[in-house]
Amino acid sequence: MASITAVATGTCFLQSANDLSHQSILGARGAVHFSKSVSAPALLLQASRSNSSNLNVVGFGRRKYGSVRSRGGDAVAPASAVRHLVGSVTKTEGLRFAIVVARFNEVVTRLLLEGALETFKRYSVRDEDIDVVWVPGSFEIPVVADRLGKLRKYNAILCIGAVVRGDTSHYDAVANSAASGVLSAGLSSGVPCVFGVLTTEDMDQALNRAGGKSGNKGSEAALTAIEMASLFEHHLKQ
């Protein structure tokens, strides 16, 4: 059981009880105490001050944002009319992902891929719901991401590569093409395409971001892919 006390200004939004460790508090009004004592997506919100009547809950899967019970248990706070649509990382059932990974600098990209796969597993994405597509280099990622998106089989496409600066301007061409290409793939296919391509000055910087002292960017990108997939599937479906 986790417990968080937040004191800040603004309005308080929660995604779900299970999301407390992942950007669940976007702001708080007054002094607010949250107890994670119920299973997601149910929420127990305990407000420690009377002005907590402005609390809003964005519960995963809740189409309507109902009232929030204050700590006293007798007052029912009115919900705001403003809707906040946020993807959830906790409800991944049925979501499908493609990972496009570049073989260039494979010593790095394999580690990024491992980080991504571990994160998908941690967030209960099934192996059967993940396809991994290898391409020669980061320059080739966008055209494949675009095609995968247009297959309408996947909820998000995770793009993984490692562009490491050399002696010439080749780095800039590949890095910029990969970035703008992945963006274009998302826009033209309508499927979220997430940029998990490292663009680094040297190999040390790349390895540090592939499970070294700066974390694993493949893992972070996988979490972004899950949130975007959920946002589209549960809130932005056409």
- Interacting residue ranges for ligand LW54GNZ2, rule: CB under 6 A: 102, 104-105, 136-140, 161-164, 170, 174
Query: Letter for the amino acid at 157?
Result: I
* Residue 65 sits in the site that holds ligand LTPLIIQW (CB under 6 A): no
* Interface of this chain with ligand LTPLIIQW, residues 106 to 125, rule: CB under 6 A: none
Which of 163, 185, 194, 229 is the binder for ligand LTPLIIQW (CB under 6 A)?
A: 163
Q: Which helix (H) or strand (E) holds 30?
A: strand 30-36
- Spatial contact of 62 and 41, defined as CB atoms under 8 Å apart: yes
Residue 170 falls in the annotated catalytic set: yes
* Residue 206 sits in the site that holds ligand LTPLIIQW (CB under 6 A): no
- If phi > 0 it is left, if psi is from -120 to 50 it is alpha, else beta; for residue 22 that is beta
Cis ω before 41 (30° cut-off from 0): yes
Total interface residues for ligand LTPLIIQW by CB under 6 A: 8
Select from ligand LW54GNZ2, ligand LTPLIIQW, none the partner in contact with residue 10, using the beta carbon and a kind-dependent cut-off of 5 to 8 Å: none
Q: What is the 3-state secondary structure (H, E, C) of 45-110?
A: EEECCHHHHHCEECCCCCCCCCCEECCCCCCEECCCCCCCCCCCCCCCCCCCEEEEEECCCHHHHH
- Spatial contact of 35 and 21, defined as CB atoms under 8 Å apart: no
Span from 16-24, 141-149, 159-167, 216-224 in contact with ligand LTPLIIQW (CB under 6 A): 159-167
Kindly provide the b/e burial profile for residues 130-150, where b requires at least 16 CB atoms within 10 angstroms of the residue's own CB. beeeebebbbbbbebbbebbe
* Residue 136 sits in the site that holds ligand LTPLIIQW (CB under 6 A): no
DSSP state at residue 170: H
Q: Which is nearer to ligand LW54GNZ2, 89 or 197 (CB)?
A: 197
Select from ligand LW54GNZ2, ligand LTPLIIQW, none the partner in contact with residue 167, using the beta carbon and a kind-dependent cut-off of 5 to 8 Å: ligand LTPLIIQW
Q: Which of 22, 33, 84, 170 is catalytic?
A: 170
Closest distance of CB 31 from ligand LTPLIIQW, Å = 51
Question: Using CB under 6 A as the criterion, which residues of the chain lie in contact with ligand LTPLIIQW when the complex forms?
Answer: 163, 165-168, 170-171, 174
Looking at the annotation, which residues are catalytic? 170
